[in-house]
Amino acid sequence: MATLTKNPNVNKWVDEMIALCKPDKVVWIDGSKDQLDGLRAEAVSTGEMIKLNEEKLPGCLYHRTLPNDVARVEDRTFICSRKKEDAGPTNNWCDPKEMYAKLTPMYDGVMKGRTMYIIPYSMGPIGSPLAKVGVEVTDSIYVVLNMAIMTRMGADAFKNLGDTSDDFVRGLHSKADVDPEKRYIVQFPEDNTIWSINSAYGGNVLLGKKCFALRIASYQGKNEGWMAEHMLILGIEKPNGEIKYVTAAFPSACGKTNLAMLIPPEGYTKRGYKVWTVGDDIAWLKPGPDGRLYAINPENGFFGVAPGTNAHSNYNALASTRKNTIFTNVAINNDDMTVWWEKLDNNPPVNATEWKGEKVNGPEYVAAGNKLAHPNSRFTAPAENCPCISPEFNNPQGVPISAIIFGGRRAKTAPLVYQSFNWQHGTFVGSIMASETTAAATGAVGVVRRDPMAMLPFCGYHMGDYWAHWLEMGKILGDKAPKIFNVNWFRTDENGDFIWPGYGDNMRVLDWIIDRCEGTVDAVETPIGYEPKPEDINVEGLDGITTETIADLLSVDKDLWKEEAKGIGEFYQKFGDKLPKEMAKELSDLEARLSK
Ligand code: GTP
Ligand code: SPV
Ligand code: MN
């Protein structure tokens, strides 16, 4: 099949990949409806995908991955910079020559008997000065159909690249035998190259997402003066019609999709507040012509966590999944070919197929303590389906950011919300983030670990250099820099239950954050930062949450924080002389304030 571009750099690289993988057939993905319909039909005919109820879930497909292939694999993810110190202490590293030598034989002939799909795509709106082009070759129709939702995919992406540029990210993916022992997710930042093999799941194989838009892009951003971050982007429309945009970085499965699509409590909607979603997972940020920081969402869809999503917790996410969506590893209701997952409602289907493919009686299966859907089961939904998608979603210039919010799952230490003293202190606040691990990556769940800026698994270079880049960006932005905050929706009581209601009620915290950005509300200075006066968090209409509860949620336990500071000191030691001196100073200042 003829190439879709005259660009010799693309064609040469594609020829090399064909020569390496030796597919029986090569298909260039032009993005046309006919072509995608054909691929959907093919995937359904081979059983790779299952067609869902056309009346209830029009255009929706189901896919099940192997039980050993259900999440990102951090221990098999590598940053192969030429120098080890450029990958830093938080990444797995291997010499690129060695890694190419190890993987090349694994790709040699891997697509014999298979078709190679060549996927051109744009991360960011086509034509945006912030957008970047990628090409992914893959032997998986599932990848093609997901990329069709998650990116601006097809021939148009090449328009953005032009006929001569070499500035595209080369992504090679083969599911191979889906052998977990031979699974590798490898970034070569200096080569604009990603090689992924032996997985067929989400973040491991949709190479535009974590591999490109975070790992490679964070490295590009450092060199080119911008930032690639694991952040949602949302707009808060106020009663006067003005919209303020904020970004928020929370670790995987810690609430980005939920916050990005929140529906404010009734007291707010009645007054005319509304939230608009620009992005739910990744933000690319760059100073604009007016000196403010602007953000685009490089993605075109949502790869969201299914369990926990329901009409009450996240109405807009659920609505986004009602057509043209791919469901991965949820349960099927065989009576009507619809989907189910934990907490969708209280009625697991009787005639169910659980996520591994076994037919079970849903209520009995759940009562026995099993899960019908995998905890990291996901939906891939087009952004245009989202009822609250921002009118600025496709704005090539992005949206101006007023506040950056960090947060994670902390049962005790972190208060509901606090504001950093300034950008440098805010960078420190991001760097000391810690959170309980979730099902989004393989490994133990619920263990507290440091996850700076929610980028631990996604920073494509030395984390010390990354913090230095943050500090540098702060200097460039000066007094136009967004204000930096930290939130925690996950403090628990003595029974281990969450105290804060979360979800839509998080609007009450955003409200204070916006007021702080506008300078219309006072704050209390604490050793860790500025906190609200408890009475400045609106609790109107909340059941069982009073200003006293807020005071409790805002309490800072100095002894716990002294322990925390010790832990931060130990963590910082890993970075050696790459730790910016500003960060060491912020830590000693914190310690001094705690001892006062
Ligand atoms: P990734 O897509 O993995 O990057 O995750 P994410 O940050 O977008 O996470 P998501 O919004 O999908 O939330 C994951 C889990 O956190 C779900 O089980 C939610 O129900 C839960 N969650 C989200 N927001 C809140 C909240 O405000 N309070 C509580 N208690 N749980 C929440
Ligand atoms: C995450 O794990 O942060 C995700 C899902 O957003 S994945 O695309 O699999 O990385
Ligand atoms: Mn994510």
The answer as to whether 502 is a domain residue is: yes
Say if residue 261 is in the same domain as residue 404.
Answer: yes
Q: CB-based contacts of 84: which residues, under 8 Å, 6+ apart? A: 93, 95
Atom number of ligand 1 nearest to Cα 506: 27
Say if residue 325 is in the same domain as residue 355.
Answer: yes
Q: What is the CATH classification number for the domain harbouring 219? A: 3.40.449.10
Q: What is the CATH classification number for the domain harbouring 434? A: 3.90.228.20
* Angle (nearest 5°) at CA 296 between 328 and 436: 50
Say which residue the tokens 């990744």 belong to: 282
The answer as to whether 210 is a domain residue is: yes
Burial class (CB in 10 A: 0-12, 13-18, 19+), 328: buried
Per-residue model confidence (pLDDT) at position 553: 98
Cα separation, 373 vs 329, in Å, equals 6
Domain termination site, one of 174, 199, 224: 224
448, containing H or E segment: strand 448-450
- Among protein residues, the one with the nearest Cα to ligand 2's atom 9 is 203
Regarding beta strands 378-382 and 326-328, do their DSSP bridges make them parallel or antiparallel, or are they unpaired?
antiparallel
Burial class (CB in 10 A: 0-12, 13-18, 19+), 588: exposed
Say if residue 435 is in the same domain as residue 570.
Answer: yes
Find the 231 Cα to ligand 3 centroid distance in Å.
8
Atom number of ligand 1 nearest to Cα 304: 2
Say which residue the tokens 């490089």 belong to: 298
Per-residue model confidence (pLDDT) at position 1: 66
Find the 14 Cα to ligand 2 centroid distance in Å.
27
Find the 254 Cα to ligand 1 centroid distance in Å.
4
Domain termination site, one of 167, 197, 224: 224
The answer as to whether 316 is a domain residue is: yes
Say if residue 494 is in the same domain as residue 561.
Answer: yes
Q: Distance of CA 312 to CAs 69, 343, 375, 498, Å?
A: 30, 10, 19, 17
Contact 400, 294 (CB under 8 A): yes
C-beta of 203 in contact with ligand 2 (< 6 A): yes
Say if residue 220 is in the same domain as residue 256.
Answer: no
Say if residue 380 is in the same domain as residue 421.
Answer: no
Beta strands in 202-361 (DSSP E): 227-229, 231-237, 243-249, 274-279, 283-287, 293-296, 301-305, 326-328, 331-333, 338-340, 352-353, 359-360
Say if residue 194 is in the same domain as residue 98.
Answer: yes
For the chain, the residue count is 596
Hey, what are 408's tokens? 């994670």
For residue 230, which ligand has an atom nearest its CA?
Answer: 3
The answer as to whether 44 is a domain residue is: no
The answer as to whether 517 is a domain residue is: yes
Residue 499 belongs to domain spanning: 229-297+393-595
Say if residue 409 is in the same domain as residue 336.
Answer: no
Q: What is the CATH classification number for the domain harbouring 326? A: 2.170.8.10
For residue 205, which ligand has an atom nearest its CA?
Answer: 2
The answer as to whether 42 is a domain residue is: no
Say if residue 409 is in the same domain as residue 278.
Answer: yes
Per the structure, the count of domains in the chain is 3
Domain termination site, one of 224, 250, 278: 224
The answer as to whether 372 is a domain residue is: yes
For residue 280, which ligand has an atom nearest its CA?
Answer: 1
User: pLDDT by residue (tens digit) across 148-166?
Assistant: 999 999 999 999 899 999 9
Say if residue 150 is in the same domain as residue 191.
Answer: yes
Find the 246 Cα to ligand 3 centroid distance in Å.
17
Cα separation, 534 vs 532, in Å, equals 6
Hey, what are 419's tokens? 């504001």
C-beta of 222 in contact with ligand 2 (< 6 A): no
- Indicate if 459 belongs to the active site: no
Say if residue 430 is in the same domain as residue 497.
Answer: yes
User: pLDDT by residue (tens digit) across 268-294?
Assistant: 999 999 999 999 999 999 999 999 999
Per-residue model confidence (pLDDT) at position 2: 84
The answer as to whether 343 is a domain residue is: yes
Q: Which candidate, 519, 504, 583, 561, places its Cα nearest to that of 259? A: 504
Beta strands in 509-581 (DSSP E): 524-525, 530-531
φ/ψ of residue 580, rounded to 5:
-60, 140
In the predicted model, residues of the chain with pLDDT beneath 50 are: none
φ/ψ of residue 347, rounded to 5:
-120, 75
Per-residue model confidence (pLDDT) at position 574: 97
Say if residue 586 is in the same domain as residue 459.
Answer: yes
